[in-house]
Structure 1
Amino acid sequence: MTNKKNAFFTLFFSCCPGAGEMYMGLYKQGIGLMGLFFGTAALAAWLRWEELLLFLCPIVWCYSFFHTHNLRRMTEEEFAAVEDKFFFEDYVDWERDWQFTAKHRRIFGIVLLLMGISVLWRAALNLVGYYFNLPGIFWELSRCLPQVIMAVVVLCAALHLMREPKGDEEESMEEDAEEAEAV
């Protein structure tokens, strides 16, 4: 595999997140970036979270664009040392039974809670805006119903994740006591 590709095609493909990496032969990196970019755009469009589009999509696009050009500028030896792996592989251990720690459960739960509240807030504001126009309120309700259902699901998941299982508190206290004794 070589990184000495056509400069025009490298520029052309680097304009689409992930396509430049795939053109360079790094398919896992390209698919991961493309999936993150277009998945974020689809989720934001479906849930009407324009802020997510404005924040995350440009970051992914810029990363992919400059990463492609940095790959092209590498020497053959440096490029040969680049592993083609999904960008999240360094953060997730697929070999073990993966579970959230208590700290990460709370953080993820709070993020989901805020996302759910955001969707419900927008749906409520849209419905109140059409309060005096009865035919309009039915149209708005039918348009907002999938988003409201998704928000309720996200809120329930967030509350479930933030709630401590009864056995975890005792186990974590015992682990802390064992660690203190070991020190």
Structure 2
Amino acid sequence: MKHSRSVASFFSLLPGAGHMYLGLTRQGIQLMLLFFSDLFISTSFSLEFLGVFLPIIWFYSIFDVRTKSLYEGTLPNNNLPIFSDIDSIDDIFKNKPAEKYIAYILILMGFLSLLNNIVIPILGRYYDYQILLYVKHFIISLILIAIGVILLKGKKITIRRGDELCKRDE
């Protein structure tokens, strides 16, 4: 089915809506979930640095819809690449890699929320607030770098299937 590129581009201004117009409901919902979750978390927990992902998600949505609107055949309604391990909502809560990443994200958000909303304001009464902000940004940067290195390094697992050995990154 041929879709109007201009209408799809107009709907893509709201992340996910353009995908839904093209019949990609799953991808549209996932983009909306990413965008509005990031917006909610960054404003509710005063974690302003998460707002950097908003334009990334928004531009991805726009350019992806513009590319897919040129396709004349039926588009596959697959998951977005970031959700490729998840087939259904049940998969999030089973032993899948997505569960590990969700746990890391929740722990990181809890720690940063405590640091930003409780520790810094209390210490701000006793120390110069500007110095505390530098220390906070330094700690957040170190944590994000450490998590990135840990995720890139990964663990090598050896799995024996029948007579062959399989190595896998986890």
TM range (shorter): 0.5 to 0.7
Residue 62 (structure 1) aligns with = 59
Q: Work out whether residues 8 and 21 of structure 2, in 8 Å CA contact, stay in contact via their aligned partners in 1.
A: yes
Q: Work out whether residues 5 and 24 of structure 1, in 8 Å CA contact, stay in contact via their aligned partners in 2.
A: no
Cα distance in 1 for partners of 2:5, 2:163 equals 59
Structure 1 SS opposite 2:69: helix
Amino acid at match of 1:52: L
> Does the C-alpha gap of structure 1 residues 108 and 39 become closer, same or farther in structure 2, counting only changes over 3 Å?
closer
Amino acid at match of 1:38: F
Residue 160 (structure 2) aligns with = 179
Cα shift at 1:25: 2.2
Matching of residues 124-135 of structure 1 within 5 Å = 124-130=119-125
Consecutive unaligned residues in structure 1, runs of 5 or more: 132-174
1:120 aligns with 2:114: yes
Matching of residues 9-28 of structure 1 within 5 Å = 9-28=7-26
Q: Work out whether residues 38 and 51 of structure 2, in 8 Å CA contact, stay in contact via their aligned partners in 1.
A: yes
Q: Which deviations, in whole Å up to 9, do the C-alpha atoms of 1:5-42 show, x marking residues without a partner?
A: 152x2332121111111122222211211121011111
Consecutive unaligned residues in structure 2, runs of 5 or more: 127-156, 165-170
> Does the C-alpha gap of structure 1 residues 11 and 108 become closer, same or farther in structure 2, counting only changes over 3 Å?
closer
Give the structure with higher Rg (CA).
1
Residue 79 (structure 2) aligns with = 86
User: Bigger relative contact order, structure 1 or 2, given CA contacts below 8 A and separation 6+?
Assistant: 1
Residue 51 (structure 2) aligns with = 53
Cα shift at 1:4: 2.9
> Does the C-alpha gap of structure 1 residues 31 and 128 become closer, same or farther in structure 2, counting only changes over 3 Å?
same
**Which one has a larger percent strand, Structure 1 or Structure 2?**
2
Identity over aligned residues, as a percent? 28
Taking structure 1 as the reference length, what is the TM-score of the superposition? Answer: 0.56
RMSD: 3.3
Q: Of residues 27, 40, 43 in structure 1, which corresponds to 2:41?
A: 43
Aligned residue pairs total 130
Q: Work out whether residues 47 and 116 of structure 2, in 8 Å CA contact, stay in contact via their aligned partners in 1.
A: no
Cα shift at 1:63: 1.0
